[in-house]
Chains A and B, each alone.
Chain A
Amino acid sequence: MKQFFNKRLDSKNAREKFLEKEMATFQHELPTEEELTVPEVNLSSASLRAGAFHMGKYCEHQNNEFMLCRQELQDPRKCLAEGRAVTACALEFFRKVKKSCYAEFTQYTNCLDKSSGDLHFKHCRNTQNVLDKCMLDNLGIERPEYGYFCRAKIHHTDRPAPAPRPKKVYEDATPGLPDDYPRPPAKFGSRLHYMM
């Protein structure tokens, strides 16, 4: 063991150890550059926050699909199609907003941007109401109640669920007693006599 340890310490300097952690080999299937290049939502934080609630409602299905996939598979490579759908939906939403509620949206964004450092909603209720009304009238999207996206939701999907992780079987595990081994009551009672 000691020899093994010394050998490893001798043979690797810090830089090599650092490189050792890097992990994508040519056996990994990585998507190509073209597959990963899609039109992104090119908006500022204030605009995103201004549209967050309505966008979340508009793209709810796509968002839930993507997040479920991401949660279940834990692999960014396997949820690319869902991710593209999410971005496409967000883009579509913001294009619609630009077409029908541009002035209200810009006003609200401006208010959010200039009222506080953390783009808080509480300073901009008036402009928010104006935007909500426009969204409801023109796009038919009602603003969800304030905690809507914090609630757990049930999402029905066509994608089959991944198989549960198989239980590990160790070759050198200590063999246990058979199930039908006699189990007489303890000779001297329980150590936790005051509890059981």
Chain B
Amino acid sequence: MVTPKTQDLPPPGGYQKIPFMRVPAKTLFNGFQIIGAYIGITTFAVYIYHLTNKQIQREEVEMRSARLALMPMLIAERDREFLKQVRKNRDEEARLMKNIPGWVVGTYYGEPIYKTKPVDHFDDNSLSWDDLCVHSDYRTQMIRQNFHLWN
């Protein structure tokens, strides 16, 4: 039995077409429109940013204003506490060093800190925090010093 040989041929009606043509995306906007939209949106955003910035600045000024309004009262209170502590320190030093011959309170054996300032010179810049705490113990000083970190 011999089967007749059949030739390999295209299907009836021919092969499908090969889609080689470019399919471009649908153009919604042209270049000028896109650039125009960019400029428009950016301008609007800058305007909103400006408004927000102004508001934030205003709020900062308000907070600062409140702080400054309270400042005299707080400074007055602080000054009184400060002077109390200075007096306490001076008395404590006198008590502590009373057996040391030649010791003059507030100086190093009579040698003053400033030679050109008057004897009665005193301002709050000349006494540092460490000086203020010199007779307290280290732990107390550190608790007070780091108090703000616990807020």
- Interface residues, chain A, with chain B CB atoms under 8 Å away: 12, 16, 18-33, 36-38, 40-41, 48-49, 52-53, 55-56, 59, 62-63, 66-67, 70, 74-77, 79-80, 82-84, 86-87, 90, 118, 120-122, 146-150
Contact = CB atoms under 8 A, between A and B. Distances in A.
B8 interface: no
B94 to A, nearest CB: 8
B55 to A, nearest CB: 9
Interface in B64-115: 64-73, 75-77, 79-80, 82-84, 86-87, 89-90, 93-94, 104-108, 112-113
Interface stretch (B24-32, B38-46, B127-135): B127-135
A20 B113 contact: yes
A83 B124 CA distance: 15
Contacts of A62: 72
B83 A36 contact: yes
Nearest to A87: B76
B73 A41 contact: yes
A53 B66 contact: yes
A120 B76 CA distance: 24
Nearest to A67: B72
A52 B70 contact: yes
11 contacts: A23-B113, A24-B89, A24-B106, A27-B106, A40-B77, A48-B70, A56-B70, A66-B76, A83-B77, A90-B73, A118-B63
A120 B134 contact: no
Interface of B: 58-59, 61-73, 75-77, 79-80, 82-84, 86-87, 89-90, 93-94, 104-108, 112-113, 119-120, 122-128, 130-131, 134
* Interface residues of chain A: helix, strand, loop or mixed (majority): helix
Contacts of B73: 41, 55, 59, 63, 86-87, 90
A90 B72 CA distance: 10
Given A21-B128, A24-B105, A30-B86, 13 more contacts: A28-B120, A36-B84, A37-B80, A49-B66, A55-B69, A56-B66, A59-B73, A76-B122, A80-B80, A83-B75, A120-B59, A146-B58, A147-B62
A52 to B, nearest CB: 4
Nearest to B103: A19
B84 A122 contact: no
Contacts of B59: 120-122
